[in-house]
Homo-oligomer: A and B are copies of this chain.
């Protein structure tokens, strides 16, 4: 890969961390859309300049929240996503998260040159690590006992659950994985977790800490009633989450909704993951 100049336009601290990681690799990184924050390693420049200086443009995740302007919380002005913006990017390799939102903002976009790092499997897998660590940090903070020796329930067995289960076991927790597929349960028990059908998980005794990764209402009033009062539920599933919050309040069960953990728990690593994923995509593109 011969590209040695990247422009990071918009986004939050994760994008800055990505810029930093690129600089540490000895490549140039131009930054735009960050005039409201003090930058250490680079100067904030205009979008037009940023577009000119680099072959590769890195836009945020999601690229837009309103489908009209760039997701750029550290920019004092709105950056419109329109034909002008698209024209500036012509001929560039443009990387972003949720690229459909970008493509809809102008007919000038050539979808062949727009890449979505959020769709990449390795992006999701890598981010499962800071997510799992963020979840463990919350558990350590909130649970008055030790994780070591505690009874942890993880619902679901996707990427986050796999990494989380491994880490919790690594600290010494007793880990139960509740999933639906027999193959997942076979994996879970082969890795040394107690594996249980998600429909029967409440027959498995008591749990101290529950980590939900399933984006469906798993913990309804009936299920919550099976938890002991002291249990802590950490909901990692994207909104609306997997817990009936009202019932939990009524039952006095502590529920912590933990979203976007990579950027919060490990912003530096979150930036590296964006960079690594884009490098992978550039490499494959060159093959």
Contact = CB atoms under 8 A, between A and B. Distances in A.
Interface of A: 17, 120-122, 124-126, 128-130, 133-134, 136-137, 140-141, 143-149, 162-163, 166-167, 169-172, 181-183, 185-187, 189-192, 265-269, 272, 280
A261 B182 CA distance: 22
B163 A125 contact: no
B166 A167 contact: no
Contact of A170 (B171, B183, B267): B171
A145 B125 CA distance: 16
B144 A183 contact: no
Nearest to A141: B137
A186 B130 contact: no
A129 B141 contact: no
Given A144-B269, A265-B140, A267-B144, A133 B182 contact: no
**Interface of chain A, helix or strand or loop or mixed?**
helix
A92 B187 CA distance: 31
Nearest to A13: B144
Nearest to A136: B140
A32 B73 CA distance: 55
A121 B181 CA distance: 9
Given A120-B182, A121-B186, 17 more contacts: A17-B144, A122-B182, A122-B186, A125-B186, A125-B187, A129-B148, A133-B140, A133-B146, A137-B141, A143-B266, A144-B269, A145-B266, A145-B269, A145-B272, A148-B190, A149-B269, A170-B170
